[in-house]
């Protein structure tokens, strides 16, 4: 029963929606968590039955209902579970469940009705996300795709009283809609090319075509779909909504804006791996955009002072890496990183939430410091998350990030690899800047307030988190570490951040990269393996399709010669070194020698300001797109064209007719009936008006 997976959270949503006001917090939070737990169990049992099937024929389909039927277009509401979807449903329900549990404590100070509203949105989000993942065709995926956007809008703007929160929600929705426009039109191009909107049909047909040598319909379709992905997954040029989305409650940032929804774009490309493989030009663009985004977000992340914004830019940057993987054709590596990232990024966000919770809403890391002793659970789990995301060996992030780097290098994308390595270095630096400033050193005293005054978006007291009776933090008194529900979740996620990578240990380290083999059928055209006379595995069949990747076996184990082994190990050493170097740099500037950081910032004041202001991209968009459209619509279209020209012509014609009607009347000889009727109606109207007035 695949339907059960999204249906249970949806029922949870309905219950909290209908009865929320009357339920106690315990019940409404309990209902929401139970719904997620149910979905997790349903997902696990479905995945279990999937695993019982032979590896190349893993798939469960459920046709739920007819939906849109029109002529040759038939879009039934069908769900399909395959290995790729299996990974995603487990991530969404598993991480989702944990974040629901965490939220029961985090949101506890909200009023009862608000509490229920929060959980109803959270459940609704999960339901839509699961539809997105399980949808067997573009339109069904689109239901989830837009639905998660809606929930994101609602949850970012959860504290709707704040102008900045409702602005951020609206911005997220509209920027996402720009991407959705691409998705929608891309869907139409796919249909005109393949006559189907079902993912499997499309993959099957696309698999029979040669990759497009020049920019053609497949390239156009994938390009438009990629536009959709940049919206949902916060890539250049549509990433601008994600940092602002931090206006929402922190668990929301963890669930939606880090672990699940924002990965939808990556997932969608993975879902259409065969299609994208046939559009080398789009793939190249995907890799380029991914790496540019990773670098850009990483540099911004270096100087931000809001704990959640640093994490937001780190998310943008990590998503960029996933797109790099997709772009170089290493789809499994991208999904692998998506999966490990879900653990440590959720952990980091929830850890930051615990800090914010303890500090009564403080989000500015310059006002933190020394929290290590007071918040031990938060500190240690956060540290593990930071180590994992930085790519320190043997933690989950190491395996997945390294896989991406190796695949891009071995695929011949040296430049992409080099920039991605720099982005990884930046990750380690800004993550440990965060760790050191927040948890090490001394608590910033109230006296340092004035030093922050120049800063653009310093957190106002009570920022985000609606505080009631939480003033103890400002007195510098004893802080409370995460309450049990939050602490347990942090610990579970920390364990996951350490261990999750072991499903994908590469062959060169003696592993067998289970996840890549498990995922491989999802990225191959259905039916391709039967046609290959030399019995190529789906993974190899795909490797042939990926340009610049012919020599290297995608399976990542057997075909690679010993020379490649050496190279892979060498690269692994490089990236481990990079991670440690980043931590070292951060330790130098933000632990040992804090003045040095200030001196560097002062030395490069211009660059620092540009980074602090996020390259002025928001300002640029506002000046070049938003304001001109508003101004033209208001001053030109409405006041001049509509009121002046068109309506002026109408009214002018009216007065002209008035004046000329006497003459025209004599000329009008042919159509007496029309004439008589209009006179009659006119008389009725005029008389009638005076009668009834």
Partner 1 sequence: MAVVPILSALVVLPLAGAVLLLLVRNRGHERDRFIQWSALGVSLAEFALSLWMWRGFDPSQADFQMVERVDWIPSFGIQYAVGVDGISLFLVVLAAFLTPLALVSSWRSVHKKVREFSFFMLALESAMIGVFLSLDMFLFYVFWDAMLIPMYFLIGIWGYERRVYAAVKFILYTMAGSVLMLVAILTVAYLHSVATGSYSFDYEAWLTLAVPRHTQMWLFLAFAVAFAIKVPLFPFHTWLPDAHVEAPTAGSVILAGVLLKMGTYGLLRFAFPLFPDAAAYFAPYLAVLAVIGIVYGALVAMVQPDMKKLVAYSSVSHLGFVVLGITAMNVQGVQGAVYQMLNHGVSTGALFLIVGMLSDRRHTRLISEYGGLKHVVPKLVAAFFVVTLSSIGLPGLNGFVGEFLILFGAFRWNPALAAVAASGVILSAVYMLWMFQRVNYGAVTNPKNEGMQDLDTREKWVLWPAIAMAVFMGVAPWVFLEPMAPAVNRIVARAAEAEPAKVVRVAAPAPVELKKGPGPFSGR
Cβ proximity to partner 1: between 154 and 371 the closer is: 154
Q: How far is the CB of 687 from partner 1 (least distance, A)?
A: 12
Report whether 489 contacts 102 (CB < 8 A): yes
Cβ proximity to partner 1: between 139 and 385 the closer is: 139
Cβ proximity to partner 1: between 193 and 497 the closer is: 193
Q: How far apart are CA 248 and CA 253, in angstroms?
A: 7
Cβ proximity to partner 1: between 189 and 539 the closer is: 189
> Could you give the residue ranges of the DSSP H alpha helices within 457-537?
484-499, 514-519, 528-531
Hey, is 137 helix, strand or coil?
strand
Q: How far is the CB of 182 from partner 1 (least distance, A)?
A: 9
Phi, psi of 157 (to 5 degrees): -90, 25
Q: How far is the CB of 575 from partner 1 (least distance, A)?
A: 40
Hey, is 254 helix, strand or coil?
helix
Q: How far apart are CA 88 and CA 84, in angstroms?
A: 7
Cβ proximity to partner 1: between 624 and 637 the closer is: 637
Q: How far is the CB of 293 from partner 1 (least distance, A)?
A: 22
Beta pairing partners, 75: 68
Alpha carbon 111 to chain centroid distance? 29
CA atoms within 13 Å, Cβ hemisphere of 603: 6
Q: How far is the CB of 107 from partner 1 (least distance, A)?
A: 18
Binding site for partner 1 (CB under 8 A): 65-73, 139, 142-143, 145-147, 150, 153, 157, 160-163, 166-167, 170, 173-174, 177-178, 180-181, 184-185, 188-189, 191-195, 216-217, 220, 629-630, 632-634, 637-638, 642, 646-647, 650, 654, 671, 673-674, 677-678, 681, 684-685, 688-689, 692-693
Q: How far is the CB of 194 from partner 1 (least distance, A)?
A: 8
Q: How far apart are CA 134 and CA 87, in angstroms?
A: 11
Phi, psi of 609 (to 5 degrees): -65, -40
Cβ proximity to partner 1: between 205 and 427 the closer is: 205
Q: How far apart are CA 458 and CA 454, in angstroms?
A: 9
Cβ proximity to partner 1: between 53 and 683 the closer is: 683
Q: How far is the CB of 131 from partner 1 (least distance, A)?
A: 9
**What angle do the packed helices 396-410 and 484-499 form, to 10 degrees?**
40
Report whether 410 contacts 564 (CB < 8 A): yes
Q: How far apart are CA 391 and CA 400, in angstroms?
A: 9
Q: How far is the CB of 630 from partner 1 (least distance, A)?
A: 7
Q: How far apart are CA 373 and CA 631, in angstroms?
A: 54
Q: How far is the CB of 184 from partner 1 (least distance, A)?
A: 6
Cβ proximity to partner 1: between 600 and 632 the closer is: 632
Cβ proximity to partner 1: between 185 and 597 the closer is: 185
Q: How far apart are CA 229 and CA 320, in angstroms?
A: 11
């Amino acid at each position: 029963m695949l339907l059960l997976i999204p249906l249970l959270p949806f029922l949870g949503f309905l219950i909290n929606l209908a009865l929320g006001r009357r339920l106690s917090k315990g019940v409404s939070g309990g209902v929401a968590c139970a719904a997620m737990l149910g979905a997790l169990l349903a997902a696990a049992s479905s995945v279990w039955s999937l695993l019982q099937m032979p590896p190349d024929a893993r798939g469960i389909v459920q046709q739920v209902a007819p939906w849109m039927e029109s002529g040759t277009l038939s879009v039934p509401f069908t769900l399909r579970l395959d290995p790729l979807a299996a990974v995603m449903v487990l991530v969404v329900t598993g991480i989702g469940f944990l974040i629901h549990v965490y939220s029961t404590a985090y949101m506890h100070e909200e009023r009862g009705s608000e509490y229920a509203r929060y959980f109803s949105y959270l459940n609704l989000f999960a339901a839509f996300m699961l539809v997105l993942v399980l949808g067997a065709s573009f339109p069904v995926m689109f239901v989830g795709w837009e639905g998660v956007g809606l929930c994101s809008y609602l949850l970012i703007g959860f504290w709707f009283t704040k102008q900045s929160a409702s602005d951020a929600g609206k911005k997220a929705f509209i920027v996402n809609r720009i991407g959705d426009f691409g998705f929608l039109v891309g869907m139409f191009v796919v249909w005109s090319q393949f006559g189907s909107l079902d993912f499997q049909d499309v993959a099957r047909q696309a698999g029979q075509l040669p990759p497009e040598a020049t920019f053609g319909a497949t390239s156009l379709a994938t390009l438009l779909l990629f536009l959709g992905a940049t919206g949902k997954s916060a890539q250049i040029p549509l990433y601008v909504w994600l940092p602002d989305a931090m206006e929402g409650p922190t668990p929301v940032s963890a669930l939606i804006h880090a672990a699940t929804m924002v990965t939808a774009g990556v997932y969608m490309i993975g879902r259409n791996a065969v299609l994208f493989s046939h559009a080398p030009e789009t793939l190249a663009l995907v890799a380029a955009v991914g790496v540019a985004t990773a670098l850009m977000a990483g540099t911004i992340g270096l100087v931000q002072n809001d704990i959640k914004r640093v994490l937001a830019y780190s998310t943008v940057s990590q998503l960029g890496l996933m797109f790099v993987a997709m772009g170089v054709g290493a789809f499994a590596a991208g999904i692998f990183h998506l999966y490990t990232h879900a653990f440590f990024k959720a952990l980091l966000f929830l850890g930051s939430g615990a800090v914010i919770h303890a500090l009564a809403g403080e989000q500015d890391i310059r006002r933190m410091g020394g929290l290590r002793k007071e918040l031990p659970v938060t500190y240690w789990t956060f540290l593990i998350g930071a180590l994992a995301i930085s790519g320190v060996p043997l933690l989950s992030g190491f395996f997945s990030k390294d896989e991406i780097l190796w695949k891009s290098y071995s695929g011949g994308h040296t430049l992409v690899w080099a920039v991605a390595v720099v982005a990884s270095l930046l990750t380690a630096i800004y993550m440990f800047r965060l760790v050191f400033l927040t948890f090490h050193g001394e608590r910033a005293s109230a006296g340092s307030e004035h030093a922050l005054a120049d800063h653009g978006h310093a957190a106002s007291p009570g920022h985000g988190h609606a505080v009631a009776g939480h003033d103890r933090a400002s007195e510098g008194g004893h802080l409370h570490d995460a309450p049990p529900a939050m602490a347990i979740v942090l610990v579970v996620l920390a364990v996951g951040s350490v261990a999750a990578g072991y499903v994908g240990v590469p062959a060169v380290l003696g592993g067998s990269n289970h996840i890549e083999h498990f995922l491989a059928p999802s990225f191959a055209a259905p039916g391709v393996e039967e046609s290959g006379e030399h019995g190529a595995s789906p993974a190899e069949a795909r490797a042939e399709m990926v340009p610049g990747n012919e020599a290297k076996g995608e399976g990542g184990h057997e075909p690679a010669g010993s020379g490649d082994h050496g190279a892979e190990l060498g690269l692994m050493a490089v990236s481990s070194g990079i991670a440690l170097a980043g931590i070292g740099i951060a330790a130098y500037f933000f632990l040992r020698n804090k003045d040095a950081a200030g001196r560097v910032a002062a030395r490069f004041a211009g660059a620092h300001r540009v980074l602090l202001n996020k390259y002025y991209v928001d300002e640029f968009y506002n000046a070049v797109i938003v304001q001109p459209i508003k101004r033209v619509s208001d001053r030109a279209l409405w006041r001049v064209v509509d009121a002046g020209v068109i309506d002026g012509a109408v009214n002018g014609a009216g007065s002209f007719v008035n004046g000329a009607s006497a003459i025209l009347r004599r000329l009008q000889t042919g159509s007496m009936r029309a004439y008589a009727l209009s006179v009659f109606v006119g008389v009725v109207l005029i008389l009638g008006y005076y009668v009834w007035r």
